[in-house]
């Protein structure tokens, strides 16, 4: 039996969208083909997968001056299909992810076309630049972290880690493993070096993105988020969530995704 989530399109209209993350240089962008029957909520899932976000924050769209958002924010519902907007070529609208960092994306309709028989959509057909890490402070914070990743402090951390490894591997000096304070400093330096790697990555690969599309992960994103949010709305009797509730949902998302918690320095 064919899975409806990944069934081929049969005669639907496709929109070719170019997605550009604003405020970032060099440019980070993606080009995707999506059915115009897709809702804004489903498009949110597509953008999360295509860009490389983790779907742990709120979002909203802005189309022709009207804001469309999920149940936690003020705005029109996001279950409206793209076809209702009757987008023409070169039409533009905005998508914002993470109200704190404010990652603003410009979406431009590059073309309208008929779907090829037996081809599954959405599909990513182009792109450049790695997605910024979550919670890095938006465009300004991202640029600052990129600069810090090649700073003198970063070089000193590399030197500390290299010296630690050299003493163990080259000099065969295992006494360094008995120095808890020195061991912690070397481990902390290694953790900072590892964290910096995310800000130096600039390669984008379409293959993993399209593999996630074929697995319908773009659909599971918005279904999962609704399942997390609706119980809170039912209890509160409101269409808005308090800050502690949003923090609870965000923590649950990170736990489900296995995102590690930073370790603290041991106290003696």
Q: 122-151 pLDDT, tens per residue?
A: 999 999 999 999 999 999 999 999 999 999
Q: Could you list the residue range(s) of the whole structural domain that residue 181 is in? A: 140-200
Q: 41 pLDDT exceeds 70?
A: yes
Count up the domains in the chain and report the number: 2
Asked whether residue 20 falls in the same domain as residue 81, the answer is yes
Asked whether residue 219 is domain-assigned, the answer is yes
- pLDDT of amino acid 238: 46
In this structure, the chain runs to a length of: 268
Q: pLDDT tens digits for 208-250?
A: 999 999 999 999 886 545 544 444 444 444 444 454 555 555 5
Collapsed DSSP state (helix, strand, coil) of residue 35: strand
Of the spans 101-105, 161-165, 184-188, 222-226, which averages the highest pLDDT?
101-105
pLDDT at residue 30 above 90? yes
pLDDT of residue 233: 45
Which of 44-58, 92-106, 122-136, 254-268 shows the lowest per-residue confidence on average (mean pLDDT)? 254-268
Question: What average pLDDT does this structure show over 45-57?
Answer: 96
C-beta separation of 161 from 190 below 8 A: yes
pLDDT at 182: 86
Quote the longest CA-to-CA distance of the chain.
70
- C-alpha 48/C-alpha 109 separation (Å) is 18
Do 191 and 206 belong together in one domain? no
Q: With respect to residue 264, please indicate whether it lies within any of the assigned structural domains.
A: no
Both 191 and 212 in a single domain? no
pLDDT attached to residue 253: 52
pLDDT at 38: 96
Do residues 179 and 212 share a domain? no
pTM for this entry: 0.77
3-state secondary structure of 244: helix
Give the burial class of 75: count Cβ atoms within 10 A of its Cβ; 0-12 exposed, 13-18 middle, 19 or more buried.
middle
Task: Indicate if 216 and 109 belong to the same structural domain.
Answer: yes
In a domain, 84, yes or no: yes
Same domain as 221, residue 188:
no
């Amino acid at each position: 039996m064919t899975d409806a989530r990944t069934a081929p399109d049969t005669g639907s209209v496709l929109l070719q969208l170019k997605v550009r993350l604003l405020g970032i240089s060099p440019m980070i962008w993606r080009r995707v083909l999506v059915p115009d029957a897709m809702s804004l909520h489903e498009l949110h899932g597509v953008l999360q997968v295509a860009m490389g976000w983790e779907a742990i924050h709120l979002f909203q769209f802005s189309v022709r001056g009207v804001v469309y958002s999920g149940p936690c924010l003020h705005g029109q519902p996001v279950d409206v299909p793209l076809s209702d907007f009757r987008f023409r070529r070169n039409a533009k609208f905005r998508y914002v992810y993470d109200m704190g960092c404010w990652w603003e994306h410009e979406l431009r309709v590059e073309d309208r076309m008929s779907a090829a028989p037996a081809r599954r959509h959405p599909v990513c057909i182009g792109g450049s630049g790695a997605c910024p890490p979550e919670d890095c402070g938006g465009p300004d914070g991202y640029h600052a972290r990129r600069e810090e990743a090649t700073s003198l402090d970063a070089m000193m951390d590399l030197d500390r880690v290299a010296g630690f490894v050299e003493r163990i591997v080259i000099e065969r000096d295992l006494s360094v493993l008995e120095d808890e304070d020195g061991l912690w400093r070397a481990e902390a330096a290694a953790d900072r070096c590892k964290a910096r790697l995310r800000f130096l990555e600039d390669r984008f690969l379409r293959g993993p993105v399209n593999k996630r599309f074929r697995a319908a992960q773009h659909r599971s994103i918005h279904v999962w988020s609704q399942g997390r949010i609706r119980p809170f709305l039912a209890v509160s009797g409101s269409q808005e969530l308090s800050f502690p509730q949003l923090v609870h949902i965000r923590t649950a998302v990170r736990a489900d995704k296995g995102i590690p918690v930073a370790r603290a320095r041991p106290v003696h």
